[in-house]
Amino acid sequence: MKSPGARRVWSADLATLPPAPRVLLMKWSALGDLALATAAIEDVFRALPGAHLDLDTPPRFAPLFAHDPRFRQVLGIDVRSAWLGGMARWLARVAAARYDLIIDMQSTDRSRLLIGVLVAAGRGPRIRVGNHRRWPYTAAPPAQPRHTHALEHLRAALASCAIPVGTDHPILHPGPEHHAHAQALLEEHGLVRGRFALFMPGCQRAGWLKRWGWRRFATLALSLARHGIENVLLVGAEDEREECDAIATACPEVAVNACGKTALLDLVPLAQAAACVVANDTGTAHVASAAARPTVVVCGPTDPRRVRPAGTRVRALQAELWCRSCYRKDCTHHSCMDVLSPEQVLDALASLGALGAHGVPAVTATRGAP
C-alpha cells in the first residue's frame, strides 16, 4: 500500500505568488555547502525578479553576504544556541516576516521542525520547498541517487517549483575592502596577475586525512615554476599554518606564505588574479571557485562526485583504490593521498588551460587590480 505522501503532487506553481513575494532561503552549513548553494541562490534570484529575498544562515557565515545585493537581509540566527533560545528567536522573526515562499536548502530534521511549527501555528507560507518529499514541504524532488552532487540536489529541489537552473559556479560578492586587501597582497609580494598559483594545502585539523601533504604541494610548486608560474600563494586558517609553513620552507624561492592573513572573501579576487588554484577538499576551495579559474581539487577519503567545487573549469582527482571515499577520520596508511602524484595534478592543470604553450600561462600576465 502506498503511503499518503506518495499520492501528493510535490510541485508548486510560483506564478501564484504575489508580484513582490517575500522569500526566505535557508542554508546553515557547512562553509563549502553554503558557497556551493550560492549557485542555486543565483538561479532563484534570476527567476524571481522583484522578490524580496532574505537569507537564513548562521552568524559566523553572515559576513560572506555583507555586500551581496541579492538579499534584503541576512537573518544570522544561531538556531543551535542553548536552551532553545535560538529556535525561539528564529520562529518569532520568521513568523513576523510573513513569507510567501520558503526554500529550505538545508532540509535537516531541525529545519523541518522549525518550518513545521510555523505551519502548525498557521504562520507558514503556502509554498515550502525542500530536498526531500516529507512534511512540511509542499514541493520537493524525487529521491536522488546516492552519489548525486550537492548542487544537483539543490537544482532538483528548484525544478520542483519550475525555477530554471543553470548557474554553474558559486556567485559571491566581495566588498571593496576584499578587493583592496587582495591588491595589497599582490603588490607587497610582487605577484603578477596570471603568473602565480593559489594553493590551499590545509583543511580543518579534524579532517587531516583530506590533506595531500606539504611535500607534494612543494614539489608541485617547483614544477609549476618550470612551466612559467613564477610563484605560489599559500592561504589558510590558523590550524593550517603548519602545512603552509612547511611548503614555504621547502621552496622559499617561489612560495609566498599568506596563511592567516586573508579573510574568506579575499579568496575570490585572489583566485581571479591567479593562473590556477590547487586545493584539498575544503570549504575554502568552494569559496575560491566563485572566481571560475582553472582549479584542481585533490580528493581521497571524500567522494569527488559529491563534493567537488562547481564549475566547468574544475577537476577533482582521486586515486583508484578500493578504499577510496571511505569518509573515515583516521587511517593507518593514507594510501589515497600517497598514490596521487604532483605530475598528475600538473597534467590536470594543463588540461584546464592553466598552462599555455611553452610554459606560458594562458592568462595574459599584467600587473593591476585583481
pLDDT band at 302 (very low <50, low <70, confident <90, very high): confident
Q: Are 306 and 148 within 8 A, CB to CB?
A: yes
pLDDT confidence of residue 324:
67
Q: Quote the DSSP letter at residue 188.
A: H
pTM, whole model, 2 decimals?
0.91
Q: Are 137 and 119 within 8 A, CB to CB?
A: no
Checking if the pLDDT of 8 tops 90, the result is no
Distance, CA of 181 to CA of 167 (rounded, Å): 28
Residue 323's alpha-carbon distances to 146, 185, 302, 311, 330, in angstroms, are 17, 40, 11, 27, 13
Checking if the pLDDT of 18 tops 60, the result is yes
Distance, CA of 235 to CA of 244 (rounded, Å): 7
Q: How far is CA 85 from the centre of its chain?
A: 29
Distance, CA of 124 to CA of 118 (rounded, Å): 5
Q: What is the mean pLDDT of the chain?
A: 90
Second CATH level (architecture) for the domain 4-159: 3-Layer(aba) Sandwich (3.40)
Q: Are 194 and 319 within 8 A, CB to CB?
A: no
Distance, CA of 333 to CA of 326 (rounded, Å): 13
Residue 136, phi then psi, degrees to nearest 5: -100, 20
Domain edges within the chain: 4-159, 176-359
Checking if the pLDDT of 316 tops 70, the result is yes
Cβ neighbours of residue 210 closer than 8 Å, sequence gap 6 or more = 203, 280, 281, 282, 299, 300, 301, 302
Lowest mean pLDDT among 1-15, 101-115, 268-282: 1-15
> In terms of Cα–Cα distance, which of 39, 179, 42, 25 is closest to 111?
25
Lowest mean pLDDT among 138-152, 156-170, 343-357: 343-357
Pairing of strands 255-257, 231-234: parallel
Distance, CA of 44 to CA of 173 (rounded, Å): 16
pLDDT confidence of residue 156:
97
Q: What are the DSSP calls for 206-223, one per residue?
A: GGGGG---HHHHHHHHHH
pLDDT confidence of residue 334:
65
pLDDT band at 322 (very low <50, low <70, confident <90, very high): low
> Percent of the chain at pLDDT above 90?
79
pLDDT confidence of residue 29:
86
pLDDT confidence of residue 89:
95
Are the folds of 4-159 and 176-359 the same?
yes
Checking if the pLDDT of 368 tops 60, the result is no
pLDDT confidence of residue 326:
63
| Span 219-271, pLDDT tens digits | 999 999 999 999 999 999 998 999 999 999 999 999 999 999 999 999 999 99
Fold of 176-359: Rossmann fold (3.40.50)
